[in-house]
Amino acid sequence: MKLVIKNGRVIDPANETDKIAPVYIAGGKIIAIGHEPEHFVAEKTLDATGQIVCPGFIDLSTRLREPGQSRKATIKSETQAAARGGITSLCVHPDTKPVIDSPAVAELIKELAIKADYPQIYPIGALTQKLEGSELSSMLALKQAGCIAVGNGNQPIKNLLILRRAMEYAASHDLPLMFRPNDFWLGTKGCAHEGVVATRYGLPSIPDAAETIALDQCLELAELTRCRVHFGQISCKRSVIKIHQAIKYGMNVSADVAIHQLHLSENDMAPFDSAYHVLPPLRTEADKQYLRQGLAGGTISTICSDHQPHDIDAKLGAFPETEPGVSALETLLPLMLKLVAQHAITLEQGIAAISQHPARILGLPIGTLTPGHAADICIFNPDQEWQVNACNWKSQGVNTPFWGHTFKGKVTHTLQSGRLIYSA
């Protein structure tokens, strides 16, 4: 289909573009911005007056719950939520059931993605068989089956020799390691940050040292093995400092932060409200502010949703007994815009953090509006208000601490390879 998007403010951080200009699309690709190509006759026109046209968003950390946990969510339901949130590419962690430790499971996920009419789902292969941390997975076969990276989900690697061998294997096949730092023994059974709130309510706690010690170990092994490492869901000040130092001295590492960590701290936790049960836990106000500074300064390059939908039963019961995670695809954009409104980052930085930078980490030719590239595009109205409620929510999981909140910033159209997959 030949399509033109007119009158929108085009923001493309990868090309340092910020201007009012038409965008011309044909054959699933962007063919021009600003000047109409010769003999171009649009079959469809989208009027983006008063709206922003930018690259489709890329989420590095999601759980879609399928295969294995379709009672919580399905690829169909969550990709609809992603499209509504302007997200055109999703990375899926390996802790599905069965685990993504064989080409067959990776291929199954790709088939389910195509069936859901959302083909741009990128599986992250398991670092070890069944995520048990004892036997390496067949990483080359996983890469050939379409896995974009390897990781161990939220499961820690207890044996550093296994982690070293896995990183050497990954480096030999140019596979980035997606690593959430968490020391097994310091972090086990905890559900809240080790601080005032956990002490007040008697909650099992996780010190920030559980993150920083595991991060230190991985940094040492990254230098030894030359493995590309992306640290996922960083949550505390000292982690930002360590990653900044590693980047300063030339190490090939990067990091992301979950969007809720930039807005919530332990002080926001309603007593025993399981919507605030996340891993890593919500930490101090000082940690939150330092994460924002790390994002603004470029140490943290990427924002992710860390989307983890749950059914109602998973969030019932005593706080420590509930399952961690929030449903977050649809709040990624408005929460990013809230950071802009609070002057924590610029709009260009925010868009780059959910498009250009994750594309660079994955090594994919997406996250940009460069002519010749796939037309993955999000069009949103930055001033339109909407409320998080059952009428406006697509995800099967309603576990969010922002239920009932009113946000600014609503997606009106999402295009994936030139196809209109969402329209408000």
CATH of the domain at 37: 2.30.40.10
Final residue before a domain boundary, out of 362, 386, 409: 362
Q: What is the mean pLDDT of the chain?
A: 96
Position 1 scores a pLDDT of 87
Q: Is residue 65 part of a domain?
A: yes
Partnered with residue 256 across adjacent β-strands are 302
pLDDT band for position 43 (50/70/90)? Answer: very high
Position 187 scores a pLDDT of 84
- Same-domain status, 66 and 158: yes
Average pLDDT over residues 39-65: 96
Position 101 scores a pLDDT of 96
Distance of CA 23 to the CA centre of its chain: 26
* Number of domains present in the structure of the chain: 2
- Phi, then psi, of 126 in degrees rounded to 5: -70, 135
Residue 271 pLDDT > 90: no
Cβ contacts of residue 25 below 8 Å, gap of 6+?
Answer: 1, 2, 3, 4, 5, 31, 375, 377, 415, 418
Final residue before a domain boundary, out of 312, 342, 362: 362
- CB-based contact 326:401 (threshold 8 Å): yes
- Same-domain status, 165 and 29: no
Q: Is residue 43 part of a domain?
A: yes
Residue 415 pLDDT > 90: yes
Residue 270 pLDDT > 90: no
- Same-domain status, 161 and 109: yes
Position 170 scores a pLDDT of 96
- CB-based contact 113:79 (threshold 8 Å): yes
pLDDT band for position 57 (50/70/90)? Answer: very high
Q: Is residue 368 part of a domain?
A: no
Average pLDDT over residues 134-162: 93
- Same-domain status, 297 and 258: yes
pLDDT band for position 226 (50/70/90)? Answer: very high
Position 113 scores a pLDDT of 97
Q: Which of 254, 235, 236, 234 is nearest to 244 (CA)?
A: 254
List residues with catalytic annotation.
Answer: 306
Q: Is residue 211 part of a domain?
A: yes
Q: Where are the beta strands (DSSP E) in 198-346?
A: 205-206, 229-231, 253-258, 302-304
**Helices 103-115 & 75-84, crossing angle to 10 degrees?**
60
- Same-domain status, 396 and 356: no
- Same-domain status, 179 and 261: yes
- Same-domain status, 206 and 352: yes
- Same-domain status, 16 and 64: no
Q: Is residue 369 part of a domain?
A: no
Average pLDDT over residues 56-71: 96
pLDDT in tens, 350-375: 999 999 999 999 999 999 999 999 99
The CA distance from 344 to 365, in Å, is 28
Distance of CA 424 to the CA centre of its chain: 23
Average pLDDT over residues 72-97: 97
Task: Give the CATH number, domain containing residue 117.
Answer: 3.20.20.140
- Same-domain status, 98 and 222: yes
Q: Is residue 25 part of a domain?
A: yes
Q: Which of 4, 76, 8 is nearest to 411 (CA)?
A: 8
Show the domain range for 40: 3-52+374-423
Position 247 scores a pLDDT of 97
pLDDT band for position 158 (50/70/90)? Answer: confident
- Same-domain status, 401 and 301: no
- Same-domain status, 284 and 394: no
**Cα R_g (the chain), whole angstroms:** 21
